[in-house]
A = this chain, B = another copy of it.
Amino acid sequence: MSQLAQRSGGLGDTLQLLRDGRPRTRAELAQVTGQSRSTVAGRVDELLALGLVSPTGEASSTGGRPPATFAFNPASRTVVAIDLGATHARVAVTDLACTVLVEHLETISIADGPEVVLDRVAAIARRLLAETPDASGRLVGVGVGLPGPVDHTTGRPVNPPIMPGWDGYDVAGGLAALLGCGVVLVDNDVNLMALGEHSARYRDVDHLLFVKVATGVGAGVISDGAIRRGAQGAAGDLGHIAVPGCEDVVCRCGNLGCLEAVAGGGAIAAQLSGGEEQVSSVDDVVALVRSGDAAASRAVREAGRSLGKVLAACVSMLNPSVIVVGGSLAALGDQLLAGIREVVYGRSLPLATQHLRIVTSQTTGRAGILGASAMVIDHVFSSDVLEGLA
């Protein structure tokens, strides 16, 4: 948050200061914000009335009546977070600290189209809200991740390659009607995984790249603390960048040497299939490597090197301080990361790599849900939305 915004003194700013959970007095809030005591007292009263802030006791006093302290109350509202993949729907109810209160995961087919899929996830969400005490009345927003490009401003998919029937569909409007909630935000699933990993584990990191390595490959870019979506919401689309030295591989997009065709989980599975062996999914690849299969281990190591060649270019371009590798193939940990690290540290310039960490995701499949929740909470914490709650 800029100094300018911090001084603006809206409700959201006061709440942002309290968001870390530490109790503060009115005098402390006045000192940090530079606002008058009376302004701060008014803000605190509004936040208390909304239930977003709770009294937490009294501070120690140097004499006279000890001043009351207040802290953020994350349990005061709930968020519905929805993570849709090609074949899964994960739905959760969280509080305002991104803590998952209740969660449901099931197999779906995104190709059934938006009406069928959104009806189903709305039904799951309604059931989860019903199971959470007092949750329905306290719902502030719904966050949705989709496995394709999304126009974040309108909440509609844009030419999504694996989502037949979804192009241009009003996902935000549809879910708003189904769930009776005016705030529905939609984004690409990998952007939300980046946001989830960032908000859960790397809040102090301003420049982070999240790379999902599953059947396909994609990335989410966090720069100066925020997701960068690009002009059409297509930023981070790593899967069709050409891998140097792999010009003999033909991709389904028609180009040669695309990262996804060289090092995606689907491509690795296809490489390992043949003869008596049938390797049909990323899970099969992970199982083979864990069973000690030498060919599978070699293939994953080599895929890591190919990922490293493209990520080295990303490091030169974006200069992140953390690369988080997630997606189902990241379950292999160092067996995937070894090749990535070898090439990135060898290939990029020292200035960009000397403080660079390359790690696996620590959110075990929940990055998308956490990101969907964080997206909604960040939005709600802006003053305009907060004042609408009052």
- Please indicate the chain B residues that have their CB under 8 angstroms from the CB of A230 in the complex: 207, 223, 318-320, 352
Asked if A253 is an interface residue, CB under 8 A from chain B, the answer is yes
- Please indicate the chain B residues that have their CB under 8 angstroms from the CB of A4 in the complex: 5, 8, 10, 12-13, 382-383
Asked if A221 is an interface residue, CB under 8 A from chain B, the answer is yes
Main secondary structure of the interface of A (DSSP, over half): loop
Asked if A309 is an interface residue, CB under 8 A from chain B, the answer is yes
Interface string of A326-356 (1 = CB under 8 A from B): 0000000000000000000011111110111
- Please indicate the chain B residues that have their CB under 8 angstroms from the CB of A348 in the complex: 240
Nearest-neighbor residue (CB-CB) of A223 within chain B: B228
Contact A240 B149 (CB under 8 A): no
| Cα A382 to Cα B7 with chains together (Å) | 12
Contact A384 B3 (CB under 8 A): yes
CB proximity to B under 8 Å, residues A248-285: 253, 255, 257
Write the nearest CB–CB distance from A108 to chain B, whole angstroms.
Answer: 25
Interface string of A299-322 (1 = CB under 8 A from B): 000000000011011101111110
Asked if A243 is an interface residue, CB under 8 A from chain B, the answer is yes
Contact A319 B5 (CB under 8 A): no
Interface string of A228-253 (1 = CB under 8 A from B): 11111111111011111111000001
| Cα A348 to Cα B234 with chains together (Å) | 11
- Please indicate the chain B residues that have their CB under 8 angstroms from the CB of A235 in the complex: 223, 317-319
| Cα A155 to Cα B83 with chains together (Å) | 43
Nearest-neighbor residue (CB-CB) of A208 within chain B: B231
| Cα A8 to Cα B253 with chains together (Å) | 48
Write the nearest CB–CB distance from A306 to chain B, whole angstroms.
Answer: 12
- Please indicate the chain B residues that have their CB under 8 angstroms from the CB of A177 in the complex: none
- Please indicate the chain B residues that have their CB under 8 angstroms from the CB of A119 in the complex: none
- Please indicate the chain B residues that have their CB under 8 angstroms from the CB of A321 in the complex: 231
Asked if A134 is an interface residue, CB under 8 A from chain B, the answer is no
Write the nearest CB–CB distance from A349 to chain B, whole angstroms.
Answer: 6
Chain A interface extent, by class:
35 or more
Nearest-neighbor residue (CB-CB) of A235 within chain B: B319
Contact B159 A350 (CB under 8 A): yes
Q: Which residues of A contact B (CB under 8 A)?
A: 2-5, 7-10, 12-13, 149, 158-159, 206-207, 219, 221, 223-224, 226, 228-238, 240-247, 253, 255, 257, 309-310, 312-314, 316-321, 346-352, 354-356, 382-384
Contact A224 B221 (CB under 8 A): no
Contact A149 B351 (CB under 8 A): yes
Contact B313 A382 (CB under 8 A): no
Write the nearest CB–CB distance from A203 to chain B, whole angstroms.
Answer: 15
Contact B232 A351 (CB under 8 A): yes
Write the nearest CB–CB distance from A264 to chain B, whole angstroms.
Answer: 15
| Cα A351 to Cα B242 with chains together (Å) | 17
- A13, A206, A224, most chain B CB atoms within 10 A: A224
| Cα A319 to Cα B253 with chains together (Å) | 18
Beyond contacts A237-B352, A242-B309: 8 other A-B pairs, Cβ-Cβ < 8 A, are: A4-B5, A4-B382, A8-B10, A159-B350, A221-B317, A237-B351, A242-B244, A242-B312
Given known A3-B384, A314-B317, contact A232–B355 (CB-CB < 8 A): yes
| Across the A-B interface, the 10 shortest Cβ-Cβ residue pairs | A230-B319, A8-B8, A231-B321, A235-B319, A234-B319, A244-B244, A207-B231, A241-B313, A234-B352, A242-B244
